[in-house]
Structure 1
Amino acid sequence: MSDSPQQPVPQKKSAGRDLSAAIGVGLGLGAVIIASLFVVKAVFVGVIAVAVVVGLWELTARLQERKAIKAPLVPLAVGGAAMVVAGYVRGPGGAWVAMALTALAVLVWRMTEPPEGYLKDVTAGLFAAFYVPFLATFVALMLTADDGPWRVLVFLLLTVVSDTGAYAVGWRFGKRKLAPRISPGKTREGLFGAIAFAMVAGALSMQFLIDGGTWWQGLLMGLAVAASATLGDLGESMIKRDLGIKDMGTLLPGHGGIMDRLDSLLPTAPVVWLLMVAFVGAG
């Protein structure tokens, strides 16, 4: 009896990460966030500030390693944390003042080193100040409303649901690439999944979790979140491609670094804050 030729075993699609570790870390982070969010608002502001500082550390470290760009971390970290607190205590005006002072501190701090590379270093520093702490400040602004914890919860929920919808639909049905030169794994089908999941979650969230909210407002918010989360993900993918890295860090097993989790959250925060104010007021 002759041996029949072995047929190649079909390869299943893979997410490219340790899924069990990713789920465990995700659940742990979720528990910490929810506990701090609904127990004491100030504690959650501290969580935001810590995430901002760690994210800035990851970003500036990668810039120095891969591009020899020395964005000054100390004024960015101090100013970034102050930005989040100022936004919570003093509102949008406080956030803008802290942003301006952080920018000035970056310019002055870099003057203590030789002038070579000054322009690229401070430019990267100003970009980092806007990209991480300033955008994160809009989460603190959401929190200042009477129903602030629920607004933040809706913001987090819609962003996570959008990412999950994109992954689930793209993994199962994805064929047409969305932006192959930036992120080859993203598909148009995945984008449609993100939109559908986020719009359904938005309608339910605005109707049942936000006082004065209605389902049609949630549909619009879900659509906006799917767009901003996708653009945020693509934006960080562009940064990582330019730097020649897969992840911004290794702090979170299965996820990469803090910045790899903030990529879709940061640009979505001002979008949700603005729509919440437009739909149900500042609170």
Structure 2
Amino acid sequence: MKQRIITGVVAGAGFLAVILVGGLPFTFLIFLLATIAMAEILKMKGMSPFSYRGAIGFIFMWLLLLPENILNFDLIHLERTETFLLMIIVLLALTVISKNAFTFDEAGFIILSSVYIGFGFHYFLAARFLEDGLIFLFFVLILVWVTDSGAYFCGRFLGKHKLWPHISPKKTIEGSLGGIAFAILFGFIYSFFFPVYDSMLITLLFILVVSVSGQLGDLVESALKRHYSVKDSGQVLPGHGGILDRFDSLIFVMPILYLLSFIQ
């Protein structure tokens, strides 16, 4: 527990400091975190990050991750998504060229993993560079962290009904609802001092989307770990597991906020 607290305080303080600085240091940090997370998910599947399969996974993920000012597609006259689709076709052709040494299952895993991690961290990065990106990003972080803490304490003291025992045996319905309630409370307190939206209704909708999708993101990673029979995604953060363990909610939330036009 002591190691967990020390790691949390040091890593959390450093992470928040880089968010405040923004710019190139923040971009580099997100690139590093996404790369480690991709390595973790490849290891879950039993793929070495240093193999050609790993290299393909990193290339796919970086293609979706890197912002337009770093990764420009003007020379090839294709959009990012068009380039990604072209690479999928090449990847599928590789299953034939390799005579199934590189399988369809592995190709599908790489594609889905690169979308999951690449887009998740891409929109986390993009949010920082919005006009009010710092206020917006701290709002999301607070909601995710408060939801997680509220769910833990409400589940511990009030939890009686299991939420999804086959995926995460310790999570309860009471804990989940408690997490949402905490998010609403602290979300409106934050909005009072740092208003992100003029409408209280939009603010409430935003809070609910972040809180619910954040919990769903946590369950997605839990299902992934259970499927591949691993306790943690990695050991980068002593007492906390891997990068994917710490960012599973955030990278699930950010693309949803983009699809709902909360990120322009």
Partner of 1:227: 212
Amino acid at match of 2:204: L
Specify whether residues 87 and 273 from structure 1 end up closer, same or farther in structure 2 by C-alpha distance, changes over 3 A only.
Answer: farther
In structure 1, list runs of 5 or more residues that go unmatched: 1-18
Partner of 1:13: none
Specify whether residues 259 and 138 from structure 1 end up closer, same or farther in structure 2 by C-alpha distance, changes over 3 A only.
Answer: same
Where 1:250 maps in the other structure, the secondary structure is: coil
CA contact (8 A) 2:144 2:210 kept: yes
CA contact (8 A) 2:95 2:104 kept: no
Partner of 1:183: 168
Amino acid at match of 2:143: L
**Displacement, 1:161?**
0.9
Larger Rg: 1
Q: Which whole-Å deviations, capped at 9, do the CAs of 1:83-117 have from their partners, x for residues lacking one?
A: 322257689x9653564466456556767744245
**Displacement, 1:196?**
0.5
Where 1:264 maps in the other structure, the secondary structure is: helix
Specify whether residues 147 and 110 from structure 1 end up closer, same or farther in structure 2 by C-alpha distance, changes over 3 A only.
Answer: farther
Which protein, 1 or 2, shows the higher relative CO under an 8 Å CA cutoff with sep ≥ 6? Answer: 2
**Displacement, 1:166?**
0.6
In structure 2, list runs of 5 or more residues that go unmatched: 73-77
Misfit runs of 4+, over 4 Å:
87-91, 104-114
Amino acid at match of 1:78: I
Specify whether residues 117 and 84 from structure 1 end up closer, same or farther in structure 2 by C-alpha distance, changes over 3 A only.
Answer: closer
- Whether 1:133 aligns to 2:84 is no
Q: Which whole-Å deviations, capped at 9, do the CAs of 1:119-174 have from their partners, x for residues lacking one?
A: 01101101111111112211122122111122111111111111111111111211
- Whether 1:35 aligns to 2:17 is yes
Q: 2: distance between equivalents of 1:204 and 1:251?
A: 33
Partner of 1:10: none
| RMSD over equivalenced CA pairs, Å | 2.9
Specify whether residues 194 and 211 from structure 1 end up closer, same or farther in structure 2 by C-alpha distance, changes over 3 A only.
Answer: closer
Q: Which whole-Å deviations, capped at 9, do the CAs of 1:199-253 have from their partners, x for residues lacking one?
A: 1222233343245444443322221112111111111111111111211111111
**For 1:191-206, what aligned pairs fall within 5 Å after superposition?**
191-206=176-191
What is the TM-score when the length of structure 2 is the normalising length?
0.85
Partner of 2:46: 64
- Whether 1:76 aligns to 2:65 is no
Q: Which whole-Å deviations, capped at 9, do the CAs of 1:11-42 have from their partners, x for residues lacking one?
A: xxxxxxxx322222222222222211121322
- Whether 1:20 aligns to 2:2 is yes
CA contact (8 A) 2:151 2:177 kept: yes
Specify whether residues 253 and 78 from structure 1 end up closer, same or farther in structure 2 by C-alpha distance, changes over 3 A only.
Answer: same
CA contact (8 A) 2:162 2:173 kept: yes
- Whether 1:54 aligns to 2:36 is yes
Amino acid at match of 1:23: I
Q: 2: distance between equivalents of 1:268 and 1:26?
A: 21
CA contact (8 A) 1:206 1:215 kept: no
CA contact (8 A) 2:119 2:255 kept: no
CA contact (8 A) 2:135 2:196 kept: no
Number of residue pairs aligned between Structure 1 and Structure 2: 257
